[in-house]
Structure 1
Amino acid sequence: MIKRLFSTLVCGLVLGITTVAAQAVITFKHTEHNFGKFKESKEQTFTFKFKNTGDKPLVIEQAVASCGCTIPTYTQAPIAPGKSGEIKVVYNGKGKSAGEFKKVITVRSNASNELVRLYIMGDMEAANP
């Protein structure tokens, strides 16, 4: 009786540990992008590509930019293990101060690394009047 109870507990513990260990992992190819010099009148776009290197489906819960001039859109469907997704970022500096900038996009997901920050930067030149 005690031997059977002990075996049941050990099996339950091992199963619980492997269940906890199974998670999605979001792995980005790049977490920064520099647009370089560009004119204020031209929107800039970059797509951050990522892969689910974990063993459970990955779900992006949100991608939030640090200002309204930066708009992220992202893969909405769950990403299976080994598959890829993307976060497209559009920077519109029209009406903003010219010069160098750096913006952050905060990505939240169900991955073991649930919070990832992406950065875009550049040097925007004022449009000619």
Structure 2
Amino acid sequence: MKKLALIALVAFIGFSANAQQAKISFKTDTVDYGSIAKGSDGVRVFEFTNTGDAPLIISDVKSSCGCTVPKKPDGPIAPGATSSIEVKYDTNRVGPIRKTVTVYSNASEPMVALKIKGEVMSDSSSVLEKS
């Protein structure tokens, strides 16, 4: 009985090692808005490819604050297929942009942190520029 249990355990470990796995590969993990005007278009896109050999399922995408709204793709992404995650930043907030968007999936790396950066410029000049 012990030999049978040992054989079953070894077979299970061998099967698990050969299991198919999704893998997510982003073109870039940082989007730089640069200097943008207040109220301008705040939508940017993170493109990625499923480089694994199993369907990739994005279960959730969360941002570090309410000023950034991410949108995950619908449905699974087939091996070799590309898709994107859309991120919209509220450009009515003047100042520097430093936010993180976290992607949760069934990939070999189940949690990936993406970053957005830049600066929203005010629509009026500063006091020093007026003199």
Q: What band does the TM-score fall into relative to the shorter chain?
A: 0.7 to 0.9
Pick closer, same or farther for the CA change 1:18–1:119 going to 2, 3 Å: same
- Whichever residue aligns with residue 78 of structure 2, its letter is A
- Whichever residue aligns with residue 59 of structure 2, its letter is E
What pairs up with 1:94-113 in 2 under 5 angstroms? Answer: 94=92, 96=93, 98-113=94-109
Q: 1:78 aligns to what SS in structure 2?
A: coil
1:127 corresponds to: 123
One of 14, 24, 29 as aligned partner of 2:27: 29
1:88 corresponds to: 86
Q: Does 1:117 align with 2:113?
A: yes
What pairs up with 1:6-85 in 2 under 5 angstroms? Answer: 9=8, 13-19=13-19, 22-85=20-83
Alpha-carbon distance in structure 2 between the residues aligned to 1:82 and 1:113? 17
What is the TM-score when the length of structure 2 is the normalising length?
A: 0.81
Structure 1 moving runs of 4+ over 2 Å: 8-17
Alpha-carbon distance in structure 2 between the residues aligned to 1:103 and 1:13? 40
- Whichever residue aligns with residue 49 of structure 1, its letter is E
Which stretch shows the higher mean deviation, 100-109 or 39-48? 39-48
Deviation (angstroms), 1:11: 5.4
Give the CA RMSD over aligned residues: 2.2
Q: 1:56 aligns to what SS in structure 2?
A: coil
Deviation (angstroms), 1:128: 3.5
Alpha-carbon distance in structure 1 between the residues aligned to 2:32 and 2:118? 5
Give the total of aligned pairs: 121
**Percentage of identical aligned residues:** 36
Alpha-carbon distance in structure 2 between the residues aligned to 1:122 and 1:73? 20
Deviation (angstroms), 1:13: 4.7
Alpha-carbon distance in structure 2 between the residues aligned to 1:16 and 1:38? 49
